[in-house]
């Protein structure tokens, strides 16, 4: 009798394996790569202005006592257009937003901001993606909440949708 049961063991193991595979196939994949710098200081950077006549973005600005949102974006990034109204609404609430324009050109940036709104206090040109990689950001758009001492408190991956606003504002208020 015991031997009979043992014979079924491989089949049971195979069934468990199949169940695991099925669970993995049907579960919604979470492919977001999170930055390891949450809770740590913003790495040092000093980016030249993304377009003439506007200030660039430097990490020193993020350590002057006021919390900031740092938005990693690009004019060539389609989801960035979708999140533009939400960024505008955040800027209208008085939340300072610094932009990091990834691999962008001044003329494209100007057109993007004229079309979709300009919520940025400063825009740094990250032409070679170095600062994006410094921050542990894996794509555009991404938004970091940085507190007044320059510590990264929160990372939002992907476009900020209307339903994400509450979480972003809460993270910003918590960083005060």
* Contacting residue, 81, 105, 121, 153, with another protein by CB under 8 A: 105
* Contacting residue, 67, 136, 141, 150, with another protein by CB under 8 A: 136
111 binds another protein (CB under 8 A): no
Distance (Å, whole) CA 176 – CA 163: 22
**In this structure, is the dihedral angle defined by the CA atoms of residues 155, 159, 163 and 166, taken in order, positive or negative?**
positive
Contact 76, 140 (CB under 8 A): no
Residue 44: phi and psi, rounded to 5, are -70, 130
- Which string of DSSP letters, residue by residue, matches 62-110? GGSSS-EEEEEE-TT-HHHHHHHHHHHHHHHTT--EEEEEET--HHHHH
In the complex with another protein, the residue whose CB is nearer, 46 or 128, is 128
66 binds another protein (CB under 8 A): no
* Contacting residue, 51, 70, 72, 77, with another protein by CB under 8 A: 77
Kindly state the tokens that stand for 168. Answer: 């972003």
* Contacting residue, 16, 34, 60, 64, with another protein by CB under 8 A: 34
Query: At its nearest, how many Å lie between another protein and the CB of residue 43?
Result: 9
Contact stretch for another protein (CB under 8 A) within 48-56, 88-96, 102-110, 151-159: 102-110
Kindly list the residues in this chain that would bind another protein in the complex (CB under 8 A): 31, 33-37, 74, 76-78, 102-105, 108, 127-130, 133-136, 138-139
């Amino acid at each position: 009798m015991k031997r009979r049961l043992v014979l079924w063991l491989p089949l049971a193991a195979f069934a468990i394996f199949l169940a695991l595979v099925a669970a993995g196939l049907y579960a919604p994949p979470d492919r977001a790569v999170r930055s390891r710098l949450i809770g740590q200081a913003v790495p040092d950077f000093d980016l030249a202005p993304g377009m003439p006549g506007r200030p660039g973005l430097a990490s020193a600005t993020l350590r002057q006592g006021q919390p900031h949102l740092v938005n990693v974006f690009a004019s060539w990034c389609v989801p960035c257009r979708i999140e533009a109204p939400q960024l505008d609404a955040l800027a209208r609430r008085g939340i300072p937003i610094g932009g990091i324009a990834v691999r962008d050109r001044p003329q494209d940036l100007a057109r993007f901001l004229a079309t979709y709104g300009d919520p940025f206090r400063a825009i740094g040109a990250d032409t070679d993606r170095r600062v994006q990689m410094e921050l542990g950001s894996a794509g555009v758009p991404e938004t970091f909440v940085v507190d007044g001492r320059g510590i990264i408190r929160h990372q939002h991956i992907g476009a900020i949708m209307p339903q994400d606003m509450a979480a972003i504002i809460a993270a910003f208020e918590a960083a005060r």
